[in-house]
Amino acid sequence: MASLEEKILSLRQTLNDYNYQYHVLDQPTVPDAEYDRLMQELRTLEEQHPELVTSDSPTQRIGGAPLEGFKKVEHHVPMLSLANAFDKQDLLDFDRRVRDGLGVDQVDYVCELKIDGLAVSLRYQDGLFVQGATRGDGTTGEDITQNLRTIRSIPLKITDQSTIEVRGEAFMPQRSFLALNEARETRQEEPFANPRNAAAGSLRQLDPQIAAERHLDIFIYAVGEWQTGSLTTHSERLNYLRELGFKINPEWRQCTSIDQVIDFVESWVDRRADLSYDIDGIVIKVDRLDYQNQLKTTAKSPRWAIAYKFPAEEAVTKLKDVILSVGRTGAVTPTALLEPVKVAGTTVQRASLHNEDFIKEKDIRINDTVVIKKAGDIIPEVVRVIPEQRQGDEVLYRMPDHCPACGAELVRLEEEVALRCINPSCHAQLMEGLIHFVSRQAMNIDGLGEKVVAQLYEHKLVQDVADLYQLDRSELLKLERMGEKSVDNLLEAIDASKQNSLERLLFGLGIRFVGAKAAKTLAIAFDDMDKLKQATLDDLMAVNEIGHKMADSVVRYFQDEKVLKLMNRLKELGINMRYLGAKPEAASEASAFYNKTVVLTGKLEQLTRQEAKERIEALGGKVTGSVSKKTDILIAGAEAGSKLTKAEQLEITIWSEQQLVEALNQ
Ligand code: IVH
């Protein structure tokens, strides 16, 4: 009789096989009921013998408690993006650059569908899936292992024992997307705009249970860190990855000329509608890996690949009305209400009209038949009207003179196209300001969506951002759809936001021209709110990246009595006013790179180009791409070529990689 351990192993094997057939090959071999029965059997055995549970067991896909936040993950090999091609000519140019760069007449390409999801990296050690991460900024992503484990087409175990990292696109199939949005609407939650946002939102959940319910999927299309031996082409890699059990999109094709590539691209313009997931283009890659290495990468993207983007989809519909919204800064924006129409997989009912000039220029009238277009996840916009379709009942639209929210007179500031409400107590602006304050990049208060903010505002529980920190539990419980649990969660999230680092508060306050990035720069430079409050125009402008317009806006902001009162209140309520993040290394004049222009060339072995660049810049140096008289130091890695020759001619200081590393470490 088989031992208990063998029984468990065999159940796991069978279930993993069924899972693979169903989720990777799309060819279920047993009825769901049979799968569930075996799974239950395995679960029971594992419950009785917890010491026999392993991380690759199919029972362990959804495991672990909700996280507090995501850990950071460094990508040892950067996750690059791709340059875009928009038409045939761009593809021909790409092919020319590739062949010229290699000095050859013919190159094989691989064409793949460009899946519209989000890039993730999966790391395997000793055959086990150990870490999954988002792309982030390409160098640092977030650890979303728990959520990725819930994707059933990701193998938890593979037969390759070396440390390997594969990359692919996680996405939400259209069917899952429609079901999800339907459920959200029933619960009166905001639907997701498109499958990509829904996938991204799902992978950012701290509780893996939620990701598990979202039915995400993945296609693997590249490798990151990779030691697996003798493969010489990208197509061989795809085949090998497939053999290892990864889900590879079956529609890839090897092409022996750019004309074949163009045929492939064109064939998908219409066929994409038949797919059960969204694609936004075709990715074209040079097949031979030695060619890829020869062609190298620019700072952002490889020279050996390009993404052909499908033209934005257009649709024709009727413009029923124009509504106005008042933004956080008082800008009044017109939006077209449309007869619902399907574009690029989603139903569109609104389109942006931007501003008054836009409406006039395009002569857009109510009841007009209009062409709208949707590009990526950007809100659809009206491209043009079809005047031939006019029936005579069209009405010219004029922007109002008064704010649709508070009734104050609208003004058009100099050199601006937008009409603005400049009433500081306009309730639409105040509410938008609150929504901005709690948003993810700002104070990041979970559970405070637009609807709840509107409720709080309308019930006069919150009039300004400080009021959020004085909410009363019993008052909240009286609101519609607010149970004990959601109230407690909300209060907890608000309380937690008090510990945010200064840049979140700064961005959240909505000071004009101060975006998330500038807020961080200011927080690092001034360290605490009091110092920033007292900063003069000159102090501000002395900070790298802060220009006159922003400096002026900050100074004016802190001159306002109301703002100063608000700051005091926030402080009394215990909101952190200091920068808590890491300080970048101080650029010191003593550094060998201070104010020096540096060029990197050749292969670096001890650190990546990106690392070298960042560290030189942190020490006050500037890294440029080409050698000229202005270059101070050339770092020549292995096999340095023409840049080295040129630097020698110009008698520029030349350092080896070793000298670079030593200088960086000093
Ligand atoms: S290859 C270094 N292949 O498109 C090249 N990317 O801008 C790595 N994408 O960030 C990308 N389908 O998120 C590649 N078959 C495919 C893809 C694909 C979708 C995404 C990926 C990447 C972006 C490129």
Largest Cα separation within the chain, whole Å, is 87
- For residue 609, pLDDT beyond 90: no
**Strand-by-strand arrangement of the 118-125 sheet:** 128-134, 118-125, 164-171, 217-223
CA atoms within 13 A on the CB side of 341: 24
pLDDT band at 311 (very low <50, low <70, confident <90, very high): confident
Please state, in angstroms and rounded to a whole number, the distance separating the CA atoms of residues 453 and 463: 10
Tell me the CA–centroid distance for residue 306 and ligand 1, in Å: 9
| 40 Cβ contact list (under 8 Å, min separation 6) | none
In the chain, where the domains are located: 2-60, 84-309, 314-411, 427-499, 502-572, 584-665
Q: Which two tokens stand for residue 544?
A: 């790298």
Tell me the CA–centroid distance for residue 80 and ligand 1, in Å: 8
Tell me the CA–centroid distance for residue 117 and ligand 1, in Å: 9
State the average pLDDT over residues 127-156: 94
Q: Which two tokens stand for residue 1?
A: 């009789």
- For residue 376, pLDDT beyond 60: no
- CB of 525 closer than 6 angstroms to any ligand 1 atom: no
pLDDT band at 298 (very low <50, low <70, confident <90, very high): confident
- For residue 187, pLDDT beyond 90: no
What integer pLDDT is reported at residue 181 of this predicted model? 86
Indicate the average pLDDT of the chain. Answer: 91
- CB of 133 closer than 6 angstroms to any ligand 1 atom: no
- DSSP label at 119? E
Query: What 3-state class would DSSP assign to 336?
Result: strand
Q: Are 30 and 53 in contact (CB under 8 A)?
A: no
- DSSP label at 143? B
Please state, in angstroms and rounded to a whole number, the distance separating the CA atoms of residues 170 and 218: 4
| Domain range 502-572, its CATH number among 3.90.550.10, 3.40.50.300, 1.10.150.20, 3.40.50.150 | 1.10.150.20
Amino acid at site 475: E
Pick the closest to residue 604 from 646, 656, 564, 567 (CA basis): 656
Tell me the CA–centroid distance for residue 9 and ligand 1, in Å: 36
Q: Which two tokens stand for residue 453?
A: 């903010």
- CB of 252 closer than 6 angstroms to any ligand 1 atom: no
Query: What 3-state class would DSSP assign to 376?
Result: coil
What integer pLDDT is reported at residue 211 of this predicted model? 92
Return the higher-pLDDT residue of 189 and 602.
602
Q: Which two tokens stand for residue 612?
A: 């070298």
State the average pLDDT over residues 145-153: 95
Mutational pocket test of ligand 1: of 75, 77, 80, 82, the residue with most ligand atoms within 8 Å of the beta carbon: 82
Residue 505 to residues 185, 304, 341, Cα–Cα distance (Å): 32, 43, 40
What integer pLDDT is reported at residue 172 of this predicted model? 96
In CATH, the architecture of 314-411 is: Beta Barrel (2.40)
Whether this prediction's pTM lies above 0.75 is answered by no
Q: Which of 99-113, 201-215, 480-494, 537-551 has the highest mean pLDDT?
A: 99-113
Amino acid at site 58: P
| 391 Cβ contact list (under 8 Å, min separation 6) | 367
- Please indicate whether residue 114 is annotated as part of the active site: yes
Catalytic residue among 7, 71, 88, 114: 114
Pick the closest to residue 115 from 363, 270, 307 (CA basis): 307
Mutational pocket test of ligand 1: of 84, 109, 115, the residue with most ligand atoms within 8 Å of the beta carbon: 115
Mutational pocket test of ligand 1: of 79, 114, 293, the residue with most ligand atoms within 8 Å of the beta carbon: 114
In CATH, the architecture of 427-499 is: Orthogonal Bundle (1.10)
Q: Whose CA is nearest to atom 22 of ligand 1?
A: 81
Q: Return the CATH fold of 84-309.
A: D-amino Acid Aminotransferase; Chain A, domain 1 (3.30.470)
Pick the closest to residue 383 from 312, 321, 325 (CA basis): 312
- For residue 378, pLDDT beyond 70: no
- For residue 220, pLDDT beyond 80: yes
Query: What 3-state class would DSSP assign to 253?
Result: strand
- For residue 164, pLDDT beyond 90: yes
Q: Whose CA is nearest to atom 21 of ligand 1?
A: 119
Please state, in angstroms and rounded to a whole number, the distance separating the CA atoms of residues 503 and 653: 40
- CB of 142 closer than 6 angstroms to any ligand 1 atom: no
Residue 615 to residues 152, 254, 517, 547, 587, Cα–Cα distance (Å): 40, 40, 20, 25, 10
Tell me the CA–centroid distance for residue 114 and ligand 1, in Å: 6
Pick the closest to residue 575 from 503, 492, 469 (CA basis): 469
State the average pLDDT over residues 2-31: 91
- DSSP label at 499? G
- For residue 417, pLDDT beyond 60: yes
What integer pLDDT is reported at residue 416 of this predicted model? 79
- CB of 169 closer than 6 angstroms to any ligand 1 atom: yes
Q: Are 42 and 11 in contact (CB under 8 A)?
A: yes
DSSP secondary structure string, 49-102? -GGG--TTSGGGSS-SPPPSSPPEEE-SS------EE-SHHHHHHHHHHHHHHH
Tell me the CA–centroid distance for residue 115 and ligand 1, in Å: 8
Please state, in angstroms and rounded to a whole number, the distance separating the CA atoms of residues 114 and 277: 11
Of 45-49, 68-72, 162-166, least confident by mean pLDDT is 68-72
In CATH, the architecture of 2-60 is: Orthogonal Bundle (1.10)
What integer pLDDT is reported at residue 375 of this predicted model? 64
State the average pLDDT over residues 43-50: 92
What integer pLDDT is reported at residue 447 of this predicted model? 85
- Could you tell me the end-to-end alpha-carbon distance of the chain, in angstroms, rounded to an integer? 66
Query: What 3-state class would DSSP assign to 416?
Result: coil
- Tens digits of residue pLDDT in 462-490: 999 999 999 999 999 999 888 999 999 99
Q: Do domains 427-499 and 502-572 have the same CATH topology?
A: yes
Q: Are 337 and 321 in contact (CB under 8 A)?
A: yes
State the average pLDDT over residues 418-436: 91
Superfamily classification of domain 584-665: BRCT domain (3.40.50.10190)
